[in-house]
């Protein structure tokens, strides 16, 4: 035998052996399910679930093998949870939560306030009555699931399609432009531990609609409206295709100081194009440190709300599709950076010993406090703005007495001691001339308020 050829053959065999060893080594490390692989990257991989399908063994088998986050597809919506005003119905949603608890899965709540899937009685309401009903609904539903929800879609699909960049018209929108922030504040008061998300579709690239949402989130962060995350539904199809700025769009929201999540992913392409698109979305999430997870909107193609498009990761029989493999491969190959801890606010260990300062406009080195009241029949939200004077302050206390008959049911961004309302760890420092805000929610009438402010 020709020595050169023999040597070459040995070298090739050696290279092949090394390749096999490397292959074995990496496959030994690679996770074999979507949930486990996402968890390795500090993230989750979830799916929408319908309660009535949990008894289907194929469905539940895939669910419990592959997914570690669950979104009820319809069971937590307003029409399902409050079919008659003031009478709450949690049977199907509780069934899903119980399943998740039993299988170590976390829950995304969907959705507290939405123009669609309202019960008939709410569809027929307007103005103050509808605003009160929304607040009562959020208080009850988020309260019922307090401590059990990782993230709530507090408000769903509130922006209009097209190039206008404005709000979608709806009965909720017509109660006043502040309905979204009232919904978020109400949800925070009801379940302070849940991440609170705004969720929408056709916001998956940089466009007029996503920029309108971006501007709202920017404003909420500046004014202290409690928002923690933005959900990008990502119902991808030829009319709403995956665009090259998908990752950049996620990143610009993350840069505002919120988590981002892919919340309802399905892709109405087929074959390799579908597999590639799933991989691209997965890689984009992994590349954005604050992208905390991906949820697909159903398990098998036959479970999809648009099943004729075959847009999911498993076929009608529950077999893995090419899109499944490309998604798992992208997860396994993805970056190793985990999302950072929840809080982005600088934490301070100031021990406030506030000195009283003038409370009028431009109040020297202290601070001023002003209030704005959103009052409805039987309830209110007071937003208190604390503005630093000509020097920065590191701690503040607002004196604020509510009238007799007003009862505080929730607060945010503040710690209370009777009629004294003081900063929490992350909002004591306010630069000269800048402001921070906190909120008080209550029943009864807030009346005319005369706050004082002491800063140090």
Residue closer to ligand G3I (CB basis): 97 or 268: 268
Catalytic (active site) residue 157: yes
Return the structure tokens found at 15. Answer: 């290279």
Residues in region 227-256 near ligand G3I by CB under 6 A: 233
Collect all residues with Cβ–Cβ distance below 8 Å to 50 and sequence separation of at least 6: 72, 73, 74, 75, 303
Dihedral, 32, 37, 39, 41 alpha carbons, nearest 10: 160
Place of tokens 């409690």: 226
Cα 149 to Cα 70: distance, rounded to the nearest angstrom:
10
Total site size for ligand G3I, rule CB under 6 A: 9
Residues in region 195-234 near ligand G3I by CB under 6 A: 201, 233
Which one of residues 115, 305, 426, 435 is an interface residue with ligand G3I (CB under 6 A)? 305
Catalytic pick among 66, 157, 181, 437: 157
Per-residue x/- mask for ligand G3I, residues 262 to 281, rule CB under 6 A? --x-----------------
Cα 323 to Cα 329: distance, rounded to the nearest angstrom:
10
Place of tokens 């040597």: 7
Of 412, 423, 413, 418, nearest in space to 454 by CA:
423
State whether residue 142 is helix, strand or coil. helix
Closest contact distance (angstroms) between CB of 116 and ligand G3I is 5
Residue closer to ligand G3I (CB basis): 48 or 402: 48
Closest contact distance (angstroms) between CB of 304 and ligand G3I is 8
Residues in region 405-424 near ligand G3I by CB under 6 A: none
Question: Does residue number 121 form part of the binding site for ligand G3I (CB under 6 A)?
Answer: no
Cα-trace Rg, the chain = 25
CB of 74 closer than 8 Å to CB of 305: no
Q: What DSSP state is assigned to residue 53?
A: G
Which one of residues 33, 58, 60, 117 is an interface residue with ligand G3I (CB under 6 A)? 117
Collect all residues with Cβ–Cβ distance below 8 Å to 228 and sequence separation of at least 6: 151, 195, 196, 197, 258, 259, 342
Which one of residues 74, 270, 302, 370 is an interface residue with ligand G3I (CB under 6 A)? 74
Catalytic (active site) residue 181: no
Containing H/E element for 187?
Answer: helix 179-190
Residue closer to ligand G3I (CB basis): 33 or 74: 74
The residue of the chain with the least Cβ separation from ligand G3I equals: 305
State whether residue 260 is helix, strand or coil. strand
Which one of residues 66, 73, 204, 301 is an interface residue with ligand G3I (CB under 6 A)? 73
Residue closer to ligand G3I (CB basis): 199 or 383: 199
Cα 152 to Cα 130: distance, rounded to the nearest angstrom:
21
Closest contact distance (angstroms) between CB of 85 and ligand G3I is 21
Which one of residues 32, 101, 116, 390 is an interface residue with ligand G3I (CB under 6 A)? 116
Please give the positions annotated as active site.
Answer: 157, 264
Where along the sequence are the contacts to ligand G3I (CB under 6 A)?
Answer: 73-74, 116-117, 156, 201, 233, 264, 305
């Amino acid at each position: 035998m020709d020595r050169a050829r023999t040597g070459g053959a040995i070298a090739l065999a050696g290279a092949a052996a090394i390749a096999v060893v490397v292959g074995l080594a990496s496959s030994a490390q690679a996770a074999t399910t979507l949930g486990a692989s996402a968890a390795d990257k500090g993230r989750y991989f979830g799916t929408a679930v319908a309660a009535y399908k949990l008894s289907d063994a194929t469905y539940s088998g895939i669910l419990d093998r592959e997914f570690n986050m669950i979104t009820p597809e319809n069971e937590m919506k307003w029409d399902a949870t409050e079919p008659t005003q003031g009478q709450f119905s949690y049977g199907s949603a509780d069934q899903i939560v119980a399943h998740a608890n039993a299988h170590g899965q976390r829950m995304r709540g969907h959705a507290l306030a939405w123009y669609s899937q309202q019960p008939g009685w709410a569809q027929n309401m307007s103005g103050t009555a509808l605003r009160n009903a929304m607040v009562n609904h959020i208080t009850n539903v988020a309260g019922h699931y307090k401590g059990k929800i990782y993230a709530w879609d507090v408000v769903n699909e509130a922006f209009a399609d097209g190039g206008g960049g404005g709000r979608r018209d709806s009965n909720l929108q017509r109660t006043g432009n502040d309905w979204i922030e009232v919904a978020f504040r109400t949800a925070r008061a009801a379940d302070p531990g849940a991440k609170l998300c705004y969720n929408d579709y056709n916001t998956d690239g940089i466009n007029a609609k996503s920029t309108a949402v971006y501007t709202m989130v920017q404003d909420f962060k500046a004014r202290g409206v409690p928002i923690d995350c933005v959900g990008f539904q990502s119902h991808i199809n030829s009319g709403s295709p995956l665009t090259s700025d998908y990752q950049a769009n996620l990143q610009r929201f993350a840069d505002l100081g919120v988590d981002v999540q892919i919340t309802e992913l399905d892709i109405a392409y087929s074959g390799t194009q579908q597999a590639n698109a799933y991989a691209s979305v997965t890689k984009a999430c992994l590349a954005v440190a604050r992208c905390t997870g991906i949820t697909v909107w159903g398990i098998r193609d036959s479970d999809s709300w648009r099943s004729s498009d075959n847009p999911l990761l498993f076929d009608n029989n529950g077999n893995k599709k090419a899109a499944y493999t490309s998604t798992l491969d992208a997860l396994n190959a993805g970056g190793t950076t985990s999302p950072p801890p929840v809080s982005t606010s600088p934490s301070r260990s100031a021990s406030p010993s506030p000195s009283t300062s003038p409370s009028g406009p431009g109040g020297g080195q202290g601070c001023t406090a002003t209030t704005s009241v959103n009052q409805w029949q039987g309830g209110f939200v007071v937003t208190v703005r604390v503005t630093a004077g000509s020097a920065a302050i590191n701690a503040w206390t607002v004196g604020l007495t509510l009238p007799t008959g007003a009862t505080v049911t929730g607060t945010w961004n503040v710690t209370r001691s009777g009629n004294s309302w003081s900063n929490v760890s992350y909002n004591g420092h306010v630069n000269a001339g800048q402001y921070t805000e906190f909120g008080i929610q209550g029943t009864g009438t807030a009346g005319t308020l005369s706050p004082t402010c002491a800063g140090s």
